[in-house]
């Protein structure tokens, strides 16, 4: 046998042994005397609800270790007929739609109770009943995405001439401001991702998934950014910042779209204006690394699109196909990308200070970081959804 064949055998043999042990354990079921006749633990997670002219529809995901089945559905204290699609038992982590012909009332709160075949109940509350957006709302939701994503980033970029006219000292302050902005965005993104992960089916291990995906995204982006063997700056760094902000805006758009679809947020002028003011600072952070260069207008347009357009896609997906675990995954990727950008911008700030013969922790830099965090926190108070 060749060396390669021996290596393959050394890998395959333990895997086959592990599989044989698992099959034997399942076949023998030595723990059966300990479980007795107790029914298996059941779990149901409602991932989405849809309200339309036909009534209420719930997309549910089953948990637990054994297949389970919904036997009865109660809405506002009364039992109602329902149709399950697909019918029958639900295997672990499988999904189904429950369609209930209930005459819901706009603005009212409705409580749905699902009863499994073993008598376990699962509650879902519709806090504010509003019709789920249909295809005729696609244009309006897209316009909202443009106003909360592209427009504020573009407005923030208009500060580029003022930053450029300030010289080296303003350049260092702008980089520090960017670190503060992105630092707040990193913490906020991780917080949102963990909140959504907690709403997902327990079988997905959402909290662990968020941390693992964020770490992998950070590592992969660091490797990709340093493949030339040196730190990045200028347009390359601005592109990385725009990408990280764009991934964050994708996850944020998913949450906004879901909030609009479920009635958790009013599609009003104040909310859109609040998001616009909050995201203006993102544009400032994107152009900060470009102060020492003279990029073409097409570069600014591309950066604004990269950072802002994902909000449009996120709002569309959140309104029509929202799932907590997918939204948490998108935000986790965004958190990893933002962390990579914080490291790169921080490195550029240190290099800039060294060229000036100063410490990176000079008062103006520290003030920039604190101001960035304060501005992001202050504007975030306007956009609770």
Assigned domain for 329 exists: yes
Assigned domain for 17 exists: no
Distance CA 108, CA 221 (A): 46
CA angle 285, 288, 293 (to 5 degrees): 150
* pTM exceeds 0.85: no
Give the DSSP H or E segment for 165.
helix 160-165
Q: How high is the mean pLDDT of the chain?
A: 81
Q: Give the model's pLDDT for residue 84.
A: 93
Q: Determine how β-strand 95-100 pairs with β-strand 83-85.
A: antiparallel
Pick the last residue of a domain from 126, 160, 175: 126
Peptide bond into 86 cis (omega under 30): yes
Do 192 and 249 have their domain in common? yes
pLDDT band at 232 (very low <50, low <70, confident <90, very high): low
Do 362 and 224 have their domain in common? yes
Do 111 and 148 have their domain in common? no
Distance CA 207, CA 194 (A): 6
Instruction: Flag whether pLDDT at 340 surpasses 80.
Output: yes
Of 96-100, 203-207, 245-249, 284-288, least confident by mean pLDDT is 203-207
Highest mean pLDDT among 78-87, 204-213, 308-317: 78-87
Of 264-268, 322-326, 376-380, least confident by mean pLDDT is 264-268
pLDDT band at 325 (very low <50, low <70, confident <90, very high): confident
Q: How far is CA 15 from CA 5, 40, 67, in A?
A: 16, 30, 28
Rg (the chain; Cα; Å): 26
* Mean pLDDT on 180-206: 84
Q: How do residues 2-42 score in pLDDT, each as one tens digit?
A: 776 777 777 777 888 888 887 776 677 676 665 555 566 78
Assigned domain for 103 exists: yes
Do 345 and 216 have their domain in common? yes
Q: How do residues 269-306 score in pLDDT, each as one tens digit?
A: 556 666 777 778 888 888 888 887 788 888 999 999 99
* Mean pLDDT on 136-143: 78
Do 96 and 219 have their domain in common? no
Pick the last residue of a domain from 107, 126, 145: 126
Q: What is the CATH number of the domain that holds 78?
A: 2.60.40.10
Q: What are the strands, taking DSSP E only, across 42-119?
A: 44-52, 55-62, 70-75, 78-80, 83-85, 95-100, 110-116
Do 295 and 363 have their domain in common? yes
Q: Give the model's pLDDT for residue 316.
A: 85
Q: How do residues 36-92 score in pLDDT, each as one tens digit?
A: 555 667 888 888 888 888 999 999 998 877 788 999 999 998 999 999 999 988 888
* Mean pLDDT on 189-212: 84
Do 59 and 186 have their domain in common? no
Query: Residue 80 sits in which domain range?
Result: 44-126
Q: Determine how β-strand 110-116 pairs with β-strand 70-75.
A: antiparallel
Do 49 and 105 have their domain in common? yes
Full DSSP string of 171-203 = HHHHHHHHHHHHHHHHHHHHHHHHHHHHHS-GG
Give the DSSP H or E segment for 332.
helix 324-355
Q: Give the model's pLDDT for residue 73.
A: 94
H helix runs in 263-323, sequence order: 269-287, 297-320
Pick the last residue of a domain from 126, 153, 181: 126
**How many domains is the chain partitioned into structurally?**
2
Name the nearest CA neighbour of 101 among 50, 49, 54, 160: 54
Instruction: Flag whether pLDDT at 252 surpasses 90.
Output: no
Assigned domain for 344 exists: yes
Instruction: Flag whether pLDDT at 217 surpasses 80.
Output: yes
pLDDT top residue among 59 and 130: 59
Highest mean pLDDT among 23-32, 132-141, 157-166: 157-166
Assigned domain for 376 exists: yes
Of 58-72, 174-188, 250-264, least confident by mean pLDDT is 250-264
Do 255 and 344 have their domain in common? yes
* Percent of the chain surpassing pLDDT 70: 84
Q: Give the model's pLDDT for residue 343.
A: 83
pLDDT band at 383 (very low <50, low <70, confident <90, very high): low
Do 291 and 148 have their domain in common? yes
Q: Give the model's pLDDT for residue 385.
A: 54
Assigned domain for 190 exists: yes
């Amino acid at each position: 046998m060749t060396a390669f064949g021996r290596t393959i055998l050394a890998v395959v043999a333990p895997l086959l042994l592990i599989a044989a042990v698992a099959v034997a354990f399942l076949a023998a079921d030595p723990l059966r005397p300990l479980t007795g006749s107790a029914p298996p633990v059941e779990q149901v997670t409602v991932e989405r609800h849809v309200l339309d002219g036909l009534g209420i529809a719930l997309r549910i995901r089953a948990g637990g270790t054994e297949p389970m089945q919904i036997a009865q559905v109660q809405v506002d204290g009364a039992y109602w007929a329902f149709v399950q699609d697909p019918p029958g038992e639900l295997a672990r982590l499988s999904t189904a739609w429950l369609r209930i012909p209930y005459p819901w009332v706009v603005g009212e709160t409705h409580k749905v109770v699902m009863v499994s075949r073993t008598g376990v109940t699962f509650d879902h509350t519709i806090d504010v009943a509003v019709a789920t957006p249909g295809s005729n709302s696609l244009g309006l939701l897209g316009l909202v995405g443009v106003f909360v994503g592209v427009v504020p980033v573009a407005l923030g970029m208009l500060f580029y001439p003022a930053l450029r006219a300030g010289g080296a000292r303003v350049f260092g302050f702008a980089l520090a401001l960017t670190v503060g902005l992105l630092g707040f965005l990193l913490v906020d993104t991780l917080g949102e991702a963990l909140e959504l992960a907690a709403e997902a089916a327990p079988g997905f291990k959402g909290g662990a998934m968020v941390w693992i995906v964020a770490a992998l995204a950070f590592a992969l982006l660091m490797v990709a950014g340093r493949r030339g063997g040196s730190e990045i700056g200028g347009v390359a760094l601005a592109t990385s910042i725009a990408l990280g902000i764009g991934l964050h805006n994708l996850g944020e758009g998913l949450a906004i779209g879901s909030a609009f679809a479920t009635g958790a947020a009013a599609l009003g002028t104040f909310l859109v204006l609040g998001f616009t003011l909050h995201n203006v600072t993102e544009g400032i952070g994107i152009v900060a690394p470009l102060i020492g260069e003279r990029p073409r207008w097409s570069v600014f347009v591309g950066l604004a699109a990269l950072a802002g357009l994902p909000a449009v896609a996120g709002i569309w997906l959140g309104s029509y196909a929202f799932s907590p675990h997918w939204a948490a995954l998108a935000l986790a990727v965004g958190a990893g990308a933002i962390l990579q950008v914080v490291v790169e911008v921080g490195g550029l700030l240190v290099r800039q200070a060294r060229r000036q013969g100063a410490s990176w922790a000079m008062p103006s830099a520290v003030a920039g970081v604190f101001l960035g965090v304060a501005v992001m926190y202050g504007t975030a108070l306007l956009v609770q959804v």
